[in-house]
A and B are shown apart, each in its own frame.
Chain A
Amino acid sequence: MVKGLEDRLFNALVYAVLVFCALLAIFPILYVISVSITPFGEVLRNGGFILIPRDVTLTAYKTLLTQSNLPQAFKVTVLITVVGTAINLVLTGLMAYPLSRKNLPGRRLVLLMIVFTLIFSGGLIPTYLIVKSVGLIDSIWAMILPNAIWSFNVLIMKSFFEGLPEELFESARIDGAKEFRILFQIVTPLSIPVIMTIGLFYLVGHWNEFFQAIFYVTDRTLFPLQVIVREILMQSQQPLENADNITPTQTLQMASVMIASLPVLVVYPFIQKYFTKGMLLGSIKG
């Protein structure tokens, strides 16, 4: 296919812009990776900026994995993420599916209640009181159950289910399927994109768990990754008040950032193909 000069120029421009954007995203990550595997003296000698590491060492990672609270926090975060996401998906799905059926009695009222929570919330202290009164304080569940369902995700899932053709349900019913069979054998397989997308939302949310941990948990062994990583980063950003304080080097800080973000970074590409599909959900109503 022969293209005009104008077309090719246009394409080149598009590519240039895209490459530029990609670089914008890649540079910071590359910087973090490079600093995390370079001895700190080397970093300083280069004026604090290194993109291509020459002198590679993994001591920072070794230090973090053996001498800090990171490994324990990592376990906590993995647990929260796996258990939490599973609970999220089951509950969100079970909430969204009935609401997507137009003949559900009281559907409008329930939907209204869900939308209401999107706009108004009880605030921090009432929420804390509830979490406290059900005895969740200082337990791992305090980081999972208060956010077991995000109303926004319910709405996204609901509109996806609504987009499934009605004929599917009819034919399934004619074949003798009951509601549960329809949900688990017809709807669920067809909903992989939305499940993946919402699952990723939840997963990232749990992985970045911070505020609930800060508020509801005081047991150090239950602190998730981000709390510990923030602690490591904060130490060097506060003016020294105590001679005993040991400031972690930049190398150590960057290594902790890598440990915290690498797993999600690795998961992303595999879910991405669903992601683009799922992100468009709700933008067109069927």
Chain B
Amino acid sequence: MSSNAIKRTSALLTSLALLGAAVSACGGSKEGGNASPSPSSTQTASATGSASASPRASGNAGKKIKLEVIETGNNLPAPDQDIIKKELDKALNVDFNLTVYASGDDYKNQLNVRMASGNFPDLFALDRQQLIEFSKQGLLLDLTPYMDRLKQVSEFIGEENVKKGAVDGKVYAISKSSQIPYNTYFIRKDWLESLNLQVPKTIEELKKVAVAFTNDDPDKNGKKDTFGLTGGELNGAFAPVFGAFGVGSPGSIYEKDGKLVNALYDPAMKDALAYIKDLIATGAVDPELLANTALQHQEKAFKGQAGIVWIDWPNMTKQNMIEQIKAVNPNAEWIQMEPPAGPAGKFDGSWEIGNTPGRYAIPKALEKDPEKLQRVFDLLNYVSDPKGGSLLVQFGVEGTHYTKDGDKIVMTDKAGEVGYSWLYQFTGRPEMSYLQTKFVPQADFIKFANDQPRIQTLNGFVDLPEGYIASDADRYIKEELAKFAYGQRDLGEYDKFLKTLETTMKYKLFMDAAQAQLTALGYGSK
């Protein structure tokens, strides 16, 4: 081969590489502005989907600014079909770019990479652990001095929720307003009737009904193909049972007789486990209980395999769910039931009051761009305005998706178009009135679930101490409790289990931290 040819080949290769670079540069400036600093490219990038909004809005508050928000979620439509985005663009003179990730892990990866590489979104969702981590690294904007510019927000979410976004007394994140509990036991009314049984009122009756559902052929098909009780793993299926013994879900911390108690150390925990063990031994519990991770228990209930399930009302009573239930068996009828009473009364599982359904932070880098920062504040204030933007992100556009009847809001039949609007509820929503408005046929279920007494747990207030690996400890707790419940490990060894947990899993660290932090907040000192 002549050296001439080699030169030519290499020249070709080099030119191809150059071409690649050129093409990529074009792509970059055409498609996405956020990476490149030049303002002109940001302008062209906003062309898609917001063209209609630009001429109207450009007049009022300076130039149009691109806002990028990332969070987990799904079902967001494309920008040009996104009515909420268009409305926000118009109202705030921004080009709103919301990106949602279906999987929490994918989202975490994306967020970590962007934080590490300095390509910050303007507002992003994060969990408590990340909040602590990022704030320590100085990546988050301390919102404390800006709180007077976020008045609408703090009014909307309430003082206690503002505190939930604080690390060491400084507010680094805006928490969403609190949610309400959805879960209760649901029971097959038609099965109860066919066996002449009553809705169980105590845990003994619960056992009796579950056994009857398993052995007495409630669906009258001549086959023994049913079982009594199912739910999502142990904590799910037996939440009200733990409650009946006055125990929170394993690992949770709550006040009992004025003192802080961890469910695992609660003396009643052993009694609860003993009862669960007996119930499982009767064969009346879903044999695949521990494998019900997502919504398998719901599917089993729909298929007519289980007669009692601890689940949320949306997955049982929304119209499309009813259709599925009726498609399998037109006679199937599910009703909610109160938690069965036990030695400690009745509690429908536990309800975490220290946590928030979500929180959003602003990167520290935005400090240098006050104009943009103001728009982020505007956005947060806007979606927190009960008379303005909050209605938009709750219900859609007035006149199209909802109408006002005095103070009452009525959804129109077009409401389905903006079913994704919850993705834009960055500061949450007034939960009860929201649900009552949006899910009118389910109103009674919502109220019923909300009215049930629950053990209020405080874990959300506790920041995990260093050296304690929550996922390892949680897995160990789950595994060992399953062994106790299934009789593979004798309950007499329970104290030994706690010992291992404290030493090997460093649970002691967590306990001490929880005690100290919760006492500082004024819990457990009555």
Q: Name A residues whose Cβ lies closer than 8 Å to a Cβ of B.
A: 39-42, 44-45, 47-48, 69, 72, 87, 90-91, 94-95, 98, 101, 103-105, 124-125, 128-129, 132, 134-142, 145, 148, 178-180, 214-215, 218-222, 230-232, 234-247, 249
Among A91, A128, A215, A247, max chain B CB count under 10 A is at A247
Closest residue on chain B to residue A231 by CB atoms: B102
CA distance A239 to B5 in the complex (A): 63
12 A-B interface contacts by CB (under 8 A):
A41-B326, A98-B6, A98-B9, A132-B117, A135-B24, A135-B29, A137-B28, A137-B35, A140-B27, A179-B9, A234-B102, A235-B75
Closest residue on chain A to residue B28 by CB atoms: A135
Which 4 pairs from chain A and chain B are nearest by CB?
A41-B327, A138-B32, A135-B28, A139-B31
One of B212-220, B245-253, B294-302, B338-346 at the interface: B294-302
- Interface pair A238/B294, CB less than 8 Å apart: yes
| Other-chain residue from B20, B29, B101 in contact with A148 (beta carbon distance below 8 A) | B20
- Interface SS of chain B: helix
Given A40-B324, A219-B32, A246-B320, A240 and B102 contact (CB-CB distance below 8 Å): no
B519 at interface, CB cutoff 8 A: no
- Interface pair B16/A91, CB less than 8 Å apart: yes
Closest residue on chain B to residue A244 by CB atoms: B422
| Other-chain residue from A44, A103, A245 in contact with B299 (beta carbon distance below 8 A) | A44
CA distance A222 to B36 in the complex (A): 18
- Interface pair A72/B78, CB less than 8 Å apart: yes
Shortest CB–CB separation between residue B105 and chain A, in angstroms?
Answer: 10
Given A98-B6, A132-B119, A218-B68, A44 and B75 contact (CB-CB distance below 8 Å): no
- Interface pair B102/A230, CB less than 8 Å apart: yes
Chain A residues in 8 Å Cβ range of B6? 98, 104-105
Among B20, B33, B419, B438, max chain A CB count under 10 A is at B20
Of residues 396 to 414 in B, which have CB atoms within 8 Å of A's CB atoms? none
Chain B residues in 8 Å Cβ range of A214? 101, 106, 109-110
CA distance A104 to B7 in the complex (A): 11
- Interface pair A139/B28, CB less than 8 Å apart: yes
Among B117, B324, B357, max chain A CB count under 10 A is at B117
Given A234-B74, A235-B102, A45 and B328 contact (CB-CB distance below 8 Å): yes
Chain A residues in 8 Å Cβ range of B520? none
Given A95-B13, A129-B117, A139-B28, A243 and B75 contact (CB-CB distance below 8 Å): no
| Other-chain residue from B27, B33, B106, B113 in contact with A136 (beta carbon distance below 8 A) | B27
CA distance A86 to B266 in the complex (A): 65
Chain A residues in 8 Å Cβ range of B9? 94, 98, 179
Chain B residues in 8 Å Cβ range of A124? 109, 113
Contact with A along B456-494 (1 / 0, CB 8 A): 000000000000000000000000000000000000000
Closest residue on chain A to residue B434 by CB atoms: A243
Closest residue on chain A to residue B313 by CB atoms: A243
